[in-house]
Amino acid sequence: MSKIPYPKTKFLKVKCSSCNNVQVLFGSAKTIVKCNVCGEDLARPLGGKAKILGEIVETLL
């Protein structure tokens, strides 16, 4: 019996530290992700997984 492969990255709900807006973003973002409300950086790419700059509220599958 073979195992079902699952992705190593997930979608994350991240709360902005300046305006408390909650936004969904990809854990391996390849570009800088900005808050839709105030424009503050929420994530920066690091080559693999992104550096999350806000608070991770929830991990989505």
The pLDDT tens digits of the residues spanning 25-40 come to 999 999 999 999 999 9
Residue 60 sits in which domain range? 28-61
Residues 6+ apart with CB under 8 A from 1: none
Confidence of residue 57 (pLDDT cuts 50, 70, 90): very high
Q: Report residue 11: phi and psi, to 5°.
A: -85, 145
Q: Is 20 left (phi over 0), alpha (psi -120 to 50) or beta?
A: left
- Is 6 within a domain? no
- Is 37 within a domain? yes
Identify the residue whose tokens are 């992104």. Answer: 50
Q: Closest Cα to residue 42, out of 22, 16, 9, 11?
A: 16
> What is the domain count for the chain?
1
Between 12 and 7, the more confident residue is: 12
Q: How far apart, in whole angstroms, are the C-alpha atoms of residue 13 and residue 20?
A: 12
